[in-house]
Amino acid sequence: MNETVTLAVAAPPTAAQRRRIYRHRLPVRVMHWINVVCLTILLMSGLQIFNAHPALYWGKKSEFDKPWVVLGAMQTPQGVRGTTFIGSHRFDTDGVLGRSNVNGSPAVRGFPSWATIPGSQWLAMGRHWHFFFAWLFVINGLCYVGYAVFSGHLKRDLVPTRAEWRSIGASIRDHLLFRHPTGDAARRYNVLQNSAYLVVIFVLLPLVVIAGMAMSPRLDTVIHGWVDWLGGRQSARTVHFLAAAGLLLFVLIHVFEVLISGVWNQLRSMITGWYDLPPDRSAR
């Protein structure tokens, strides 16, 4: 006797079955895209400025014989090679860091020309761009914090609840397995996302701004001695660089998560505010 077994396969949700929520209010969306523009220009113009002296130090002055990071080049049996020094360790980074192509010809420079604006060697204009967008970025950040506090956005959407803190282990496991929240769980960011946003907003961003201000001799003359709190001007330059690197790492992870969790759905929520809740995984 032959038996036929029929497997029920869940069909993809129709437009009527999808649940769409208003996830991001207009002020959050506008300030988000201002941040995108500012951070992009600040990063690339900052690399332009860094290339004028591609080395980092700790202390009040640049001890040229004691840098802890250097992006340069050195003579090797294979010719001049781009080389990165971190402490006593040496890395061959030819073609990317230390030596790269400028207008089709190899040149000794810290970061490659494609990563710097407004040009491959235009320090003065790079400083103008950096300072202008730095102030725009600071003003936008203060507006965001003010809006987040007084509108309830901070407590409602960013501060993890006690239940979310207790589930942080499961959240870490889900991220490592590239599993994202579905159904009602996707209505708000999870504990790892919220924690990352809070660290960026209240630790990395203030640190990069304060360290950047500490590199200005003019500000040091207004309030004497405060630069020493960071260990000196060269230490402030290093802190500024490391905090910016932390922001870049956050941005790269953020973009990666957007790519693997539904690009259009995520972009639409940050452009129009509307977000389609992914079908509940447990109900499939």
Output the six-digit token pair for 154.
Answer: 């901070």
Q: Give the pLDDT confidence of 145-201 residue by residue, as tens digits.
A: 999 999 988 888 888 888 888 888 888 888 888 888 888 888 888 888 899 999 999
> Same domain, yes or no, for 177 and 103?
no
Please tell me the total count of domains within the chain: 2
Q: Where among 66, 98, 115 does a domain terminate?
A: 115
Helices of type H across the chain: 26-50, 123-151, 153, 162-166, 168-176, 191-199, 205-214, 217-222, 233-260, 263-271
Higher pLDDT, 45 or 216: 45
> Same domain, yes or no, for 62 and 166?
no
| Residue 185 burial by Cβ neighbours in a 10 Å radius (0-12, 13-18, 19+) | middle
> Same domain, yes or no, for 158 and 92?
no
Closest CA to 119 of 135, 97, 137, 102: 102
pLDDT exceeds 90 at position 9 = no
Q: What is the largest CA-CA distance in the chain?
A: 95
> Same domain, yes or no, for 25 and 140?
yes
> Same domain, yes or no, for 184 and 159?
yes
Percent of the chain with pLDDT over 70: 92
pLDDT exceeds 90 at position 131 = yes
> Same domain, yes or no, for 238 and 263?
yes
> Same domain, yes or no, for 201 and 90?
no
Q: Where among 68, 85, 115 does a domain terminate?
A: 115
Q: Where among 72, 95, 115 does a domain terminate?
A: 115
**Total-model pTM:** 0.84
> Same domain, yes or no, for 82 and 140?
no
* CATH code of the domain in which 237 resides: 1.20.950.20
Residue 12 lies in a domain: no
pLDDT exceeds 70 at position 202 = yes
> Same domain, yes or no, for 153 and 269?
yes
Which residue range(s) make up the domain with 59? 53-115
Residue 84 lies in a domain: yes
Q: Give the pLDDT confidence of 64-101 residue by residue, as tens digits.
A: 778 889 998 887 887 788 899 998 899 999 888 988 87
**What pLDDT score was predicted for residue 79?**
79
Q: How far apart are CA 268 and CA 251, in angstroms?
A: 18
**What pLDDT score was predicted for residue 106?**
77
> Same domain, yes or no, for 148 and 270?
yes
**What pLDDT score was predicted for residue 18?**
62
**What pLDDT score was predicted for residue 7?**
44
pLDDT exceeds 90 at position 109 = no
Output the six-digit token pair for 91.
Answer: 């890395």
Residue 11 lies in a domain: no
